[in-house]
């Protein structure tokens, strides 16, 4: 197993937390509430965010040097998702998880 810095371990945890939050929020809350929560663009963004977070964690866990590229993209998508979840409203948990993940991934991409 490769060495993971404390920053990388924290980023992996942030990515997995955001993955879980976005997926459960999309599949639970958004589908139940409907309306703006199920607009195709919003729902697709949440699913994309969940997937890129999972992928970022995976790349770091396997020790791929490409994690920097993936983390850079993850940070961008997480920021967009946070902004859109804030626009839709009643999704503060998702907003917070996305912003934490974006900050952590930006550090990994540097």
Q: Where are the domains of the chain?
A: 6-109
Backbone phi and psi for residue 2, each to the nearest 5 degrees, phi listed first: -80, 160
Residue 86 has pLDDT above 90, yes or no: yes
Q: What is the pLDDT of residues 38-60, one digit of tens each?
A: 999 999 999 999 999 999 999 99
Distance from the first to the final alpha carbon of the chain? 23
> What is the enclosing helix (H) or strand (E) of 32?
helix 31-33
- 6-109: in CATH 3.40.50.2000: no
DSSP 8-state secondary structure symbol assigned to residue 91: -
Q: What is the pLDDT of residues 8-34, one digit of tens each?
A: 999 999 999 999 999 999 999 999 999
Tokens 């942030």 locate to 14
Cα 63 from Cα 85, distance rounded (Å): 31
* Mean pLDDT, the chain, integer: 95
Q: At what angle do helices 40-61 and 67-88 cross, to 10 degrees?
A: 150
Q: At what angle do helices 6-24 and 40-61 cross, to 10 degrees?
A: 150
Q: Residue 2: what pLDDT? A: 63
């Amino acid at each position: 197993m490769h060495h993971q810095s404390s920053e990388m371990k924290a980023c992996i945890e942030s990515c997995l937390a955001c993955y879980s939050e976005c997926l459960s929020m999309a599949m639970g809350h958004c589908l139940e509430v409907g309306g703006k929560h199920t607009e195709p663009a919003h729902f697709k963004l949440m699913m994309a965010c969940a997937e890129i977070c999972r992928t970022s964690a995976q790349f770091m866990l396997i020790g791929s040097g490409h994690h920097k590229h993936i983390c850079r993209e993850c940070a961008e998508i997480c920021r967009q998702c946070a902004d859109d979840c804030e626009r839709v409203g009643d999704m503060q948990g998702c907003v917070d998880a996305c912003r934490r993940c974006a900050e952590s991934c930006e550090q990994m991409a540097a």
